[in-house]
Amino acid sequence: MKLKMEKLKTILGKHEINEFEIIELGSDITDAKTQIVASGYGSQHHIASVVFENEKGKYVLGIRNANAKFKSGALKKFSNSKKLKMVSPDVLAKLSQIAGSVCPLTIDPKEVIVVIDESVAVMSDIVCGTGTIENAIKLSRQDFEKVMGAKYVRVAEVQYVRNENELDRYLSGVAPSASEVHLGNYLGAMKQFVDFQNTPGTENYYFLADYHAINTVHEGSSLRSNTQNVMLDYLGAGVDPEKSVFYIESQIPEIFEMTEVLNNAVTLGEMKRMHGYKDKLADPNQDENSINMGLFNYPILMAADILLFEPDFIPVGEDQAQHVEICRDMARSFNSRYGDILKIPELYVKEATGRVIGTDGERKMSKSIGNILGIFSDDNVIKKQIMAITTDPARIKVDDPGDPDKNPIFYYLEIIGHDKSKIEEYRERYRKGTIGDVEFKKEFFEIYREYISPMRDRRAKYAKDMDYVNDMVKENGKKARDVAMGVMDRVRTAIGVYRV
């Protein structure tokens, strides 16, 4: 082993390569996958080097990114071979190599035909085997090219590769387009974030979609304060930055690069079917000339937010289902052109609360309509919102019998999980006319206040420690960006971005 490492260092020295890292892999290495995990560098930084023998007895060294798969026809073509078979461990030993940790840097180029796939051309750093089981080596791609040459050909297909034992990944976002979230946002989306975050076997990515908000928030100071407020709302709701990767969309510049790539994976016709755009057009005060491109393109930015993180599930409210569907379509369309590159996520909408009705008792609870129930606003604001809840219009006098189905408070009591028998008691009294609407609203205010109080307390605690919150978001942003960079690298390779 020592000899092999000495040989490697001598070769690097000859090429005046001084900046490299010898990575200790520990003793649990059984295959390429465990090697990737042990190295601490993601698969986007690893190459796989495979030695084949052709029908003339010549050795062919194929090199590709760890996320790619050789296409045997192309490999034969570029190595001038009719047949190729992987060599045995004995042959590898003759070349001073071992299976699973081939070191392309120490193979004498006179002994083999070297074929390097284009997927290597976009890698920033390269981690490869050292010919020993104990170590890998990391060096820059430029230094790798000093030893191996920089001739790349297309002999592999980059692929989305997921290990079977990986955790289920959940991802979703909330736009800081207002200074606080409402009960619809919480029950439709955020509560699921917290539930999944606390479910073993999952990993969770939740973010503040600040670039989505600039569609309607046009003052820098408002976007900044909204972002900080909604950040605290998230934490108040129970998203824990030590359990979930909690970050801000704008921390990940790759999202905007990906948006441009995805612009080319969707047609104008498909975009025009999006309900956000159609709803705007239906407004008599709007026409195509007044619709902002940010609104029109919203689903493309959202698809980039999603696809760069390879989630399994997207927990959202029902109003976002169409956007997730188009994101899936874009991924399929991209994959049909370039191969199996992007993971296609699944939509997750909770049936009971996917569309929380507003205080008008009819339409979706929405800040733009103003039919909301706040969570983190002052008590007097929430009281006013509750007092404005529509009630049974047929009830004129306090003791008139009422129809519970015409009073959304019954519905709110159910979706916040209030005691069923107590709801039934209220129903009885409402039907009989023994509880007036104002009295009922006052009682509901107390019940609702109790329901939201743990969230408000938690938010207040975090608000006192903004340094901690900012540090966590900073750290989480880095973690999230690492994932996005890996996928973006794969996408760049697939679309053929030329690197000099």
Choose between 230 and 342: whose C-beta lies nearer to ligand AQP. 230
Binding site for ligand AQP (CB under 6 A): 174-175, 177, 184-185, 188-189, 316-317, 319-320, 354-356, 364-368
Alpha-carbon distance 444 to 455, whole Å?
18
Q: With respect to ligand AQP, which residue has the nearer C-beta, 182 or 481? A: 182
**Are the C-beta atoms of 359 and 351 separated by less than 8 Å?**
no
Q: Which is nearer to ligand AQP, 277 or 338 (CB)?
A: 277
- Closest approach of ligand AQP to the CB of residue 308, in Å: 18
Question: Which CB sits closer to ligand AQP, 354 or 436?
Answer: 354
Say how far apart CA 5 and CA 14 lie, in whole Å: 14
CB of 225 to ligand AQP, least distance (A): 16
**DSSP three-state, residue 409:** helix
Nearer to ligand AQP, 72 or 366 (CB): 366
* Cβ 274 vs Cβ 281: under 8 Å: no
Contact assessment for residue 442 and residue 387, using Cβ atoms and an 8 Å cutoff: no
Q: How far is the CB of 404 from ligand AQP (least distance, A)?
A: 21
Minimal CA–CA distance to 125: which of 7, 43, 11? 43
Return d(Cα 297, Cα 327) in angstroms, integer.
12
Comparing CA positions, the residue from 301, 330, 302 lying closest to residue 314 is 302
Q: How far is the CB of 351 from ligand AQP (least distance, A)?
A: 11
User: Judged by CB, which is closer to ligand AQP: 150, or 415?
Assistant: 415
Q: Which residues contact 397 (CB under 8 A, 6 or more apart)?
A: none
- Distance separating alpha carbons of residues 413 and 431, to the nearest angstrom: 16
Q: Provide the minimum distance between the beta carbon of 435 and ligand AQP in the complex, in angstroms, as a whole number.
A: 27
* SS3 state of residue 346: strand
Shortest distance (Å) from residue 203 CB to ligand AQP: 19
CB of 242 to ligand AQP, least distance (A): 23
In contact, 375 and 181? CB cutoff 8 Å: yes
Give burial (CB, 10 Å; 0-12/13-18/19+) of 216.
Answer: middle
- CA atoms of 439 and 399, how far apart (whole Å): 11
CB of 8 to ligand AQP, least distance (A): 51
Question: Of the two residues 188 and 374, which places its CB atom closer to ligand AQP in the complex?
Answer: 188
SS3 101: coil
Apex 246 CA angle, 294 and 317, nearest 5: 55
Residue showing the smallest CB distance to ligand AQP in the complex: 188
Strand (E) positions, 122-269? 125-129, 135-140, 152-153, 156-158, 168-174, 202-208, 245-248
Instruction: Closer to ligand AQP by CB, 374 or 477: give it.
Output: 374
Residue among 104 and 358 whose Cβ is closer to ligand AQP: 358
CB of 174 to ligand AQP, least distance (A): 4
Structure tokens at 35: 């090697």
